[in-house]
Each structure stands twice: as C-alpha cells, then as structure tokens.
Structure 1
Amino acid sequence: MDQQRLVAARKVVQKSNRASEGGAQSVDRAATMLLLVGRAGTAGARLADLVAQSDLTKPTVHRILLALVRAGLLDQDATTRAYHLGPELYALGALASPRFGIHGASIRSLVRMSAHSGDSAFLSVPRDVYSICLHREDGPYPIRVQALAAGDRHPLGVGAGSLAMLAAMSDTEVEAAIAANIADGSLQPHPNYTVARLRELVRETRANGYALNPGLMLAGSWAIGIAIRGPDKRPIGALSIAAIEHRMSPGRQRELVPLLKAEAREVESRLGKTKVGALPRTKPPGVK
C-alpha cells in the first residue's frame, strides 16, 4: 500500500512539473513576441513575419498575439493588420524609467555627438551576453549607416558599442560571453566575428582605449565606441558613433574619440548624481 501511495505521489509531482514547464514555455513565447514586435519599429510586425522569425506554428503565434492584445501589451492596426507595442507597455515603461535612467542621462550627449559629428550616435546597454541598442540619434549628414537601430540585439562584441562593453569586462566574463554566443548560435549570422577575431578585437580595444568596428557587421559601415561604467567600474552601457567608411578614417577617429570619452564621462557623472543605473545585468553563464 505504501508503495502504491509513493507511485501516486510521484505521478502528481511529475504532472505538476510538466504544468510548470508548460507555463514557463508560454511566458517565454509571449516575451519573444513582444521583443520581435518591438524590434519591427514603427512599421509594425506582420503575422507572417512573426511566424517566420519565431519558428512557431501560425496558430500558436496567432493565439499568443491575441492574448497580448487583450492584455494591452500589443495593439493591432485596423488597416494594415500589423502588430505594434501596446499602451500597457508604455505605462509599464514609464513606471520603470526611474530605475533604468541611463537612457535619460544619455540623451543630451547623443544629441551633441550626432550634431558635432554629423553622423549617427547610439546608446547600447549589456543584457546577459548581448548588447541592446536603446537609442539612435541621427546627425545631419545625408548618408546614414543602417547597421543598427533602437531595439536591435547583438552578441556582445558585435559592433563598436557592444565591443566596448565586452572589452571592459574581465577576461573570465569575456570568454564566458563568447562561449555562450557560440553555443546558442548567436554568432552564426556574423561570420566575420570568429572566436579568434573577437579575442583580438578585445585586445585592440583595451590597448587603444576605444572600440573600432571596421565594417565587420555591414560592409562600408564603420563605428567607434566607448564604454560607460558604473561606480564599480563595470560596463553599464556604451556610446558609439557610426558612419560610412570614408568618414571614419584614422584621423577622424582621433578627432571623435575625445568627444566620445568626454560624453561617456558626462553620462557617468549624471548617473552618479541621480544614483540611477542601467538595465539589470546578469552575468554570462559560467561566471560567478
């Protein structure tokens, strides 16, 4: 009898575990939809695109989207049928903004950088083993690079701002981030970024005092970046300037790097006065 009760108890636990895993999977899928719609920008995301990008079936994606629309987290355009971020996300963002104030602390710097250089200025932050672009500020120069937009996520090391943050980490964190992005396939779309090349780029960034992306993400699109550090000297973000290749010569790099460094220190000063940090940063796998 005791054995029968033990078997029955195990079945209950197994069923509960499966239910928990299913619930977690649903949350993961919903979060993925929100990120994909957010990255689509002002044009919105079509159902067919979300199906292709998520590798989920059309009925599953449609069911998730409907649930998010009902919750106000997404909105669907009545004419185009494209999905956009919803009003509840705006409200949640407003509530979260005091904690994630690196964006507000960087706006004036981004405007000055884009105006002074004439090119595009960016703010990026680290999130786990990735870099997320929070803001893009375009300058008056008519030819603009298209390698990075607000909401884009890249493996740490891919792109100037992302590389600046990776190089500002410890050697252990650098290796863990590279290994994690190799393992989950995040570096596959970026064939120019091999393990050996990333390590070399980290060494060069540390030696030069700034990160350089010589068209590795997108041919003809060059960029330089500087890390923004928190009170503990760990990277909490990065400022970068991107331009077409002939506008990022060695001489112009020498002209723009002091501007980047000055603005990065200014952002750090503002954050220090307001005691506001960046996005919560989780350590790469394998780093304690």
Structure 2
Amino acid sequence: MEHSRSASARKAVQATADVSAGGAQSLDRAATLLILVGRAGPSGARLADLVAETDLTKPTVHRMLNALVRAGLLDQDAETRRYHLGPEIYVLGTLASVRFGLHPVSLRALVRLSEATGDTAFLSVARDVYAICLHREEGAYPIRVHALQAGDRHPLGVGAGSLALLAALPDAEVEEVLTANADILDERYPSYAGAVLGALVRETRAQGYALNPGMLLPGSWGIGVAIRGQDGRPIGALSIAAIDSRMGEERQRELMHLLRREAAWIEARMLQRDHGPARANGKRT
C-alpha cells in the first residue's frame, strides 16, 4: 500500500514537471516570435516566414500569434495579413526606457539639436547586428527628410547614426557585424555591400564623425556621432539628417560640433545617473 502511494506521488510530481516544462517551452516560443516580428521592422512578418524561421508547425505558430494579438503584444494588418509589434509592446518599451535611461536622458539634447539646426535629430541604439531608431525630433525647416522613423531598423553601418555606432566598436566586433550582415547588404543595401562599409568605418574613425551622403535615400544626407558609456563602448548615437543642399562641408563641421557637445552632455548625465553627482564631477564619494 505504501509502495503504491509512493508510486502515485512520483507520477504526480512528474506530471507537474511535464506541465511546467511545457509552459516554459510555450513561453520560449512566444518570446521567439515576438523577437522575430520585431526584427522584421516596419514591413511586418509573414506567417510563412515565421514558420520557416522557427521550425514549428503552421498551426502552432498561428495559434501562438493569435494569442499574442489578443494580448496586444502583436498586431495583424487586415490587408497584408502581416504581423507587427502591438500597442502593449510600445507601453512596455516606454516603461523599460525609464529604467535603462538613455532615451529620456537624451530628449532634451535632441530638442536642442532640432531647434538649433532646424533639421531632424535622431537617437539610435545598437541591438545585435542592427541599429534601431529610438526617437526622431523634427526641426522647423520646411523641407524634411523621411529616411528614418522611430522604430526603423537597419544593419549596423547603414545610415549616419548607425555608422557611428559601428565605427565605435572594436575591430573584431566590426568584422563580426560585417560578416553577419553580408547577405542582407548585398540583397537590400547594395551601395553598402562588399568593401564599402569597411572603408566607411575607417573614414568615420579618421574624421571623428559619420557621414551618410545620400547612400540610404538619394538627396537625404546624415551626420552622426556615437554616445559612449563609462567603459568607452557605444551606448547610442546622435545624428542629424537634412537635404543635401544643407550639408556642405562648412555646415558639416558646424553640425559635428553641435552633435559632439550634446553627446558629451548625455554621457555626463548618464554617468551622474549611475554614480551620483560627486563621481560625475570627478570626485570620490
């Protein structure tokens, strides 16, 4: 009798473990789908592509996508049937930005840049081998460029802010990024393919700022600088975009000084946030 009860108890524990493992697996799959949809960018993700990328069955992927849509974490376009990040992701991202700090700390700098130049200022960050635009601050100049919107994602090095981020990485990491993105550069960004992006990295390091002379969108030029953390690694990038007639060499120098000043201001604010005012001023606490 005692043996029978022990066997039953073991079976119950195993059943509970199996359920827990199944639940964890479902969470892992849902998280993977969220990441894949996010990486698809503004164009959205097709069901067929998500099935292929996850190696899951179509019914399983479809069921999980529907659950994520119901939760507001994903959205499905009624016409294209493609999946996009949903409104709750935006809310969660806004809440997370308070913790991670770069976005809210940078807002005043972005406003100053757009007001001083009349052009559009951007904040970008690196995620894996891509750069993501976190914020776009419009200037007052009536002719605006629309090469980059908040949430847009491009391979690292494509665009001024993205190039500033890539050039600020160590050589070994730059090579890893170039290798990882080689296929997508060939397919979707041919003006950056081959040895071009490596040459742009060297040029950016030599001149101290990144320049995009209409390579992403004809007529739209950009200039960018990296924002560095206490360890010297890039934590973000500031950039300004304008039509080509407003990006002559003299104005490039003016914009570069403005960008560097605001990047230094952000770096000081981030250091102060992390270590307190005494350390930010070079004093020990």
**TM-score, normalised to structure 2's length?**
0.76
- Decide whether the 8 Å contact of 1:178 with 1:195 is kept in 2: no
1:22 positional shift: 8.8
Deviations 1:43-73 (A, max 9, x none): xx8xxx6428946599777544421122232
Name the amino acid aligned to 1:28.
T
- Decide whether the 8 Å contact of 1:51 with 1:61 is kept in 2: no
Q: How does 1:60-75 map to 2 (within 5 A)?
A: 63-74=63-74
1:199 corresponds to which residue? 198
2:144 corresponds to which residue? 144
1:85 positional shift: 4.9
| Structure 2 gaps, min length 5 | 1-21, 53-57, 276-285
Count, aligned residues: 248
- Decide whether the 8 Å contact of 1:205 with 1:211 is kept in 2: yes
Which protein is bigger by CA-based radius of gyration? 2
**2: CA distance, partners of 1:247 / 1:61:** 48
Name the amino acid aligned to 1:31.
I
2:8 corresponds to which residue? none
Q: How does 1:235-246 map to 2 (within 5 A)?
A: 235-246=234-245
1:142 positional shift: 1.5
- Decide whether the 8 Å contact of 2:134 with 2:150 is kept in 1: yes
- Decide whether the 8 Å contact of 2:34 with 2:85 is kept in 1: no
Cα separation, partners in 2 of 1:56 and 1:147, compared to 1, 3 Å: farther
User: How big is the alpha-carbon RMSD for the aligned residues of Structure 1 and Structure 2?
Assistant: 3.2
> SS in structure 2 opposite 1:195?
coil
Name the amino acid aligned to 2:126.
P
> SS in structure 1 opposite 2:191?
coil
> SS in structure 1 opposite 2:225?
strand
Name the amino acid aligned to 2:239.
S
**1: CA distance, partners of 2:151 / 2:244:** 24
2:35 corresponds to which residue? 31
**TM-score, normalised to structure 1's length?**
0.75
1:7 corresponds to which residue? none
Matched, 1:262 2:261: yes
**1: CA distance, partners of 2:202 / 2:87:** 44
Matched, 1:51 2:42: no
Name the amino acid aligned to 2:33.
R
**2: CA distance, partners of 1:53 / 1:275:** 44
